Amino acid sequence: MNELLIKSKIKDYKVVFKTNVVEVSETIKILPNKVLIVDANVLSIYRTEIEDMAGDGDIIPFKAVEDNKDLDAVAEFYAYLIDRNAKRNINLVSVGGGITQDVTGFVASTLYRGINWTFVPTTFLAQTDSCIGSKTSLNFQNRKNLLGTFYPPSIIYLCPAFLSSLKTIDYYSGIGESIKFQLMNPFVKPDLQDVGQKIERLRKYELLDEVIMENMAVKINYMENDEFDLGRRNLLNYGHCFGHALEISSVYDIPHGIAVSIGILFAGVVSVNRGIMSSSMFEGIRKIILPCLLVRYEERHYERNMLLSAMKNDKKRTGSRLSIVLSDNDFMLSKYDDLEEKEFYEALKTLIVTLER
């Protein structure tokens, strides 16, 4: 399949698959009035192709770190674009991973109330997850993804060849999100042995195209009829309630997708403690996730009060207790808004033992 059409209440958009980076350059270089915002690491690795892509358009390098996923970065882009007399017919092209997407998507959705925006995802996580779904997000006052808009790119050029230059840890961040999608696959009842084998193959850089497509199909299924995240789409937050808290408490030493897979383990401990998941199922999930964590357990990342306060700041939390998405023994997910502090502390203790084992 060369194209995938994503239906959206905002505007339908397409994911177009490309086999190499030169093909992406050739497609983009014919766009008029373009400005490229490019992840600085990607620019240094693919300078020739990116310069070719830009033609006579500007290239703005962007340092993709969580600290730059904020209103200051957005304001700098507004100023830059306005200074250069950018008009409503500008074509903004973003090249990079989820951080570049979140910041530039926010700019695209708000400048002149929305400009044309093309996205070229260059990380595994952005290709398999964030590039679809319409969300743009900014961090605010140490709260993850607190600000944001719903604004999909007009078109996404997806080229897995970019992934060959990713650092191992960033590649494994995509594996973390892939584990989540595979465990919540609504099309087949997930089988832990099959999921484990697939993840093993991903670790050998095999099956990439197939898994990217499968994960996207899972995401589309959960988003369908709930693009604005009012119901079923919330379940895609499996692993994220604790995962986001861990990203904050580790000061982003733990990359997003790896934090999410640790969040799935945390959710698993809570499910076992509540009697909705068997210990053997938890053990099966643990065996898949542990070899993919890459970041060693460090006590300073798991400061319990810091984690609790970050969980309390989760924007998905609606009541006075904590929110969490849990899986049962049949891989059926539900969102719970009743996690007590005592239960949180107990689960954290067990999680730490699990990680150290």
List residues near ligand NAD by CB under 6 A.
Answer: 39, 41-42, 45, 64, 66, 69, 96-102, 122-123, 125-126, 129-130, 133, 135, 137, 145, 162, 165-166, 170, 173, 256
In the bound complex, what is the minimum distance in angstroms from residue 290's beta carbon to ligand NAD?
Answer: 20
Compute the radius of gyration of the chain from its Cα atoms: 20
Q: Which residue number, 130 or 250, has a Cβ lying nearer to ligand NAD?
A: 130
Distance between CA 73 and CA 140 in Å, rounded?
Answer: 12
Distance CA 313, CA 308 (A): 9
Which of 99, 285 has the CB closer to ligand NAD? 99
- Backbone dihedral angles phi then psi of residue 254, each to the nearest 5 degrees: -95, 115
Nearer to ligand NAD, 74 or 281 (CB): 74
The residue at minimum Cβ distance from ligand NAD is 98
Alpha helices in 204-303 (DSSP H): 208-223, 240-249, 256-274, 279-289
For the bound state, the minimum distance from the C-beta of residue 227 to ligand NAD, rounded and expressed in Å, comes to 12
DSSP character string of 81-133: HHHTT--TT-EEEEEESHHHHHHHHHHHHHGGG--EEEEEE-SHHIIIIITSS
List C-alpha distances in Å: 195 to 179, 199, 289, 290, 335: 8, 6, 11, 14, 23
Shortest distance, position 206 Cβ to ligand NAD, whole Å: 18
Q: Quick one: 100 or 354, whose CB is closer to ligand NAD? A: 100
Name which of 169 and 332 has its Cβ closer to ligand NAD. Answer: 169
Q: Which residues pair with 82 in a beta bridge?
A: none
- CB of 46: closest distance to ligand NAD in angstroms? 8
- How far apart are CB 77 and ligand NAD at their closest, in Å? 16
Nearer to ligand NAD, 118 or 130 (CB): 130
Q: From the CB of 336, what's the least distance to ligand NAD, in Å?
A: 22
Contact (Cβ atoms closer than 8 angstroms) between residue 332 and residue 184:
no
